[in-house]
Amino acid sequence: MSSNSGHPEQATVGPQPRLDVVLDAASEFLEMEILPHLDGARALRMRITIRQLALARRAFEQTFEAQTARYAQLQELLGISGSWSELQMTLARRIRERSFSGNPLVLRDYLEKSVNDSLRVDNPKWLTDD
């Protein structure tokens, strides 16, 4: 499905709450309703699960914001519009086929920012302050 709304694709079927709202609700339910009834190893596992839900929420927020910024840059870089996945596939194809005709420094900047955005969520310790 192609979307030119200015945002990366977010597939939804009917009115659904945003992922961050769902993660917050699940975390709150586990912490307030389930955790008080657990002890020992099960309580520890539940606290770890709650922390992982918080991490997932942060990842969702950072990823969405980063993708929104990258989406606009990608459209400009390629000089075309399309869905997030279409643009990514086009860029990959052009790089692979050596047919990218834009400024290589702008491409490098885009790719570096994209990798850093991914690392910021997946493994921030790999980022350097260059």
Query: How far is residue 75's CA from residue 3's CA, in Å, rounded to a whole number?
Result: 12
SS3 17: coil
Phi-psi region of 13 (alpha: psi -120 to 50; beta: other; left: phi over 0): beta
Q: What is the mean pLDDT of residues 40-68?
A: 88
Q: What is the mean pLDDT of residues 86-115?
A: 93
- Delimit the domains of the chain by residue range: 19-126
pTM value surpassing 0.85: no
Banded pLDDT at 129 (limits 50, 70, 90): low
